[in-house]
Amino acid sequence: MSVGIHPFFSIATKRFNFCSFKRVGIAVNSYSLPLSLSGSHNRTPSPSTMGDEKLGLKSSESDKYSKELDVAVRVVQMACSLCQRVQESLVSKNNDQVKSKDDDSPVTIADWSVQATVSWVLSECFGRESVSIIAEEDVNTLSRADAVGLLESVVKTVNECLAEAPKFGLKGPDRVLETSEVLEAISRCNSTGSHPGRHWVLDPVDGTLGFVRGDQYAIALAMIEDGEVLLGVLGCPNYPMNKEWLKYHHRDFLVMSKSSPSTSESWNKGCVIYAKRGCGKAWMQPLVHKSEKLVWPNSAREIRVSTIDDPALATFCEPVERANSSHSFTAGLAHSVGLRKQPLRVYSMVKYAAIARGDAEIFMKFARAGYKEKIWDHAAGVLIIQEAGGVVTDAGGRPLDFSKGIFLEGLDRGIIACSGATLLEKIVRAVDASWDSSNL
Ligand SMILES: Nc1ncnc2c1ncn2[C@@H]1O[C@H](COP(=O)(O)OS(=O)(=O)O)[C@@H](OP(=O)(O)O)[C@H]1O
Ligand SMILES: [Mg+2]
Ligand SMILES: [Mg+2]
Ligand SMILES: [Mg+2]
């Protein structure tokens, strides 16, 4: 891996005034349910009890994976808090802590710090020997002689985050972690997932490009067992509980801020979305904000996909970067299916969150030929959409295969997520009709 200041960082600094969640007022209503004091909101279940009573599951079934989901949601909340702090410092201090990986993609202290934190917490809760984690980052860059400062920042960030574990109802370390322990926690996430059994799947910062630009990003944690995604948690620190902002493109933010000022608090309030396979439900809770005292369990409310199935009324999301997905191909599809609205280009798995929340109806990604999609970019989002009532397939209409290790092997052309089967079928047919004449 090369170590250098990532070229996108300069763009990040420029763009921040334009689209930052902090400095731009946005007409959003902050989430109206207060965070609950333990047990005071009976109708907003904690992850471990969600939906089980309504499903009529026996307690042994309903308890299955409850502890895993509970820990996963809490540690993603911690990670969101960590990322908010790092993002603020990245974009305000113009420092050099955005690095480039071999493929020129960016990586930051947040990526490594979240990976170390989640790895440490999962190992403490479920036993270091038995926890298998498949995650995006490694320690190659961090271990280089010229990365001492970077490594120090990561160790400091991880320790600051773990010190806050009790606020999230988790046990932190008895003492400060040493550098070698932080490196070990990061490199322990090197499972290839090639054997059956249980694997945690982590994208510590998904949409790192959005992250360094002061924009959208997500923390994605899933649990796979024997190739099936059983749990999915998405932390979306810049995606407020209220959906209003999604109607606007970033270029509109500045205009809106002049007419409708809003507190940074309401914009700041992100969300954590989660689901457990088979519940037929997905849930969303507000981020525990740093100015709030501990309140756990954190209130949650159920989310559901949109009921819109008329393409003319549907909104479709896609990656921001043309290099990650062909905008021209999706524009052709949109036209032939009868989508009328402009695409909503959003960084990260926040796109999956938007479909699950009913804020958009379609997500399409068509990467260039030869690019192999990784499971950490999709596992959590796919399960959450499915449980919220939506559908996700490849462009041939087949389910994504999470059983083959790091990559989504056998993926047919691209990924399509929809709020319902009617839209999905139309898009799959349109892909077939136009594929041969595409350049993909
Ligand atoms: N060439 C290429 N083609 C397709 N996909 C790629 C490519 N390169 C990277 N990636 C992966 O895309 C992840 C970011 O996806 P996004 O949907 O957020 O893309 S975008 O930033 O909005 O353009 C991104 O995730 P993160 O690295 O976690 O940010 C990558 O795993
Ligand atoms: Mg990356
Ligand atoms: Mg990713
Ligand atoms: Mg990532």
Number of domains, the chain: 2
Residue 289 lies in a domain: yes
Lowest-pLDDT choice from 33-37, 80-84, 145-149, 421-425: 33-37
Ligand 1 binding pocket mutation candidate from 321, 350, 362 (most atoms within 8 A of CB): 321
User: What is the CB neighbour count within 10 angstroms for residue 259?
Assistant: 8
Please confirm, yes or no, whether 111 is among the known catalytic residues: yes
DSSP notation for 263-315: -HHHHH--EEEEEETTSS-EEEEE---TTSPP--SPP-EEE-------GGG--
Shared-domain flag, residues 201 and 92: yes
In a domain, 98, yes or no: yes
d(CA 302, CA 281): 7
Q: Of 75, 71, 140, nearest to 112 (Cα)?
A: 140
Active-site residue flag, 401: no
Answer whether residue 115 shows pLDDT above 60.
yes
Neighbours of 2 (CB within 10 A): 11
Please determine, for residue 94, whether its predicted confidence score (pLDDT) is greater than 90. Answer: no
292 with 319, same domain: the answer is no
The answer to whether 377 is a known ligand-binding residue is: yes
Instruction: Provide the pLDDT confidence category of residue 295 given band limits of 50, 70 and 90.
Output: low
H helix or E strand, kind and range, residue 149: helix 148-163
Which residues lie closer than 8 Å to 161 by C-beta, 6 or more apart?
78, 79, 81, 82, 113, 117
Q: Within 10 Å of residue 39's Cβ, how many Cβ atoms?
A: 8
Is 117 within the bounds of a domain? Answer: yes
- Among 105, 208, 322, the mutation site with the greatest number of ligand 1 atoms within 8 A of its Cβ is 105
The pLDDT, as a whole number, for residue 95 is 62
Predicted complex ipTM: 0.99
pLDDT score, position 93: 73
User: What confidence score (pLDDT) does residue 424 get?
Assistant: 98
pLDDT surpassing 50 at residue 91: yes
pLDDT band at 245 (very low <50, low <70, confident <90, very high): low
**Closest C-alpha among 208, 157, 186, 183 to residue 377:** 208
Whether 146 and 248 share a structural domain: yes
Range of the domain at 197: 65-255+267-303
Q: Are residues 221 and 279 in the same domain?
A: yes
| Among the bound ligands, the one closest to the CA of 99 | 2
Q: Compute the distance between CA of residue 267 and CA of residue 145 in angstroms, rounded to an integer.
A: 40
- What is the signed CA dihedral for 293, 221, 317, 16, rounded to 10 degrees? 50
Catalytic annotation, pick one of 108, 117, 157, 208 = 208
Q: Which of 20-34, 132-146, 340-354 bottoms out in mean pLDDT, i.e. has the lowest?
A: 20-34
Banded pLDDT at 98 (limits 50, 70, 90):
confident
Spacing, Cα 29 to ligand 1 middle (Å): 30
> Is 7's pLDDT higher than 80?
no
Task: Please give the average per-residue pLDDT across 371-391, as a whole number.
Answer: 98
Nearest CA to ligand 1 atom 31: 377
Among 45-54, 363-372, 378-387, where is mean pLDDT lowest? 45-54
198-206/133-135 β-pairing: parallel
Does any domain span residue 329?
yes
Instruction: Judge if 230 and 337 occupy the same domain.
Output: no
Cis peptide before 297 (omega within 30 of 0): yes
Ligand 1 center to 199 CA (angstroms): 22
Q: How far apart are the C-alpha atoms of 308 and 364, rounded to whole Å?
A: 17
Q: Say if residue 206 carries a ligand binding annotation.
A: yes
Residue 57 lies in a domain: no
Residue 60: what pLDDT?
63
Report the pLDDT value the prediction gives residue 298, as an integer from 0 to 100. 72
Ligand 1: list residues with CB < 6 Å: 105, 136, 203, 206-210, 319-321, 323-324, 347-348, 367, 371, 374, 377
Q: Is residue 372 part of a domain?
A: yes
Residue 254 has pLDDT above 50, yes or no: no
pLDDT in tens, 300-340: 999 999 999 999 999 999 999 999 999 999 999 999 999 99
Residue 294 pLDDT: 59
For residues 334 and 293, membership in a common domain is answered with no
Which of the following is catalytic: 52, 111, 215, 394?
111
What would the pLDDT profile of 159-189 be if each residue is shown by its tens digit?
A: 999 999 999 999 999 999 999 999 999 999 9
Q: Is residue 8 part of a domain?
A: no
Span from the CA of 347 to the centroid of ligand 4 (angstroms): 11
Domain at 243, CATH number? 3.30.540.10
Ligand 1 atom 2, closest CA: 324
Same domain membership, residue 298 and residue 359: no
Compute the Cα dihedral for 12, 16, 21, 26 and give only its sign.
Answer: negative
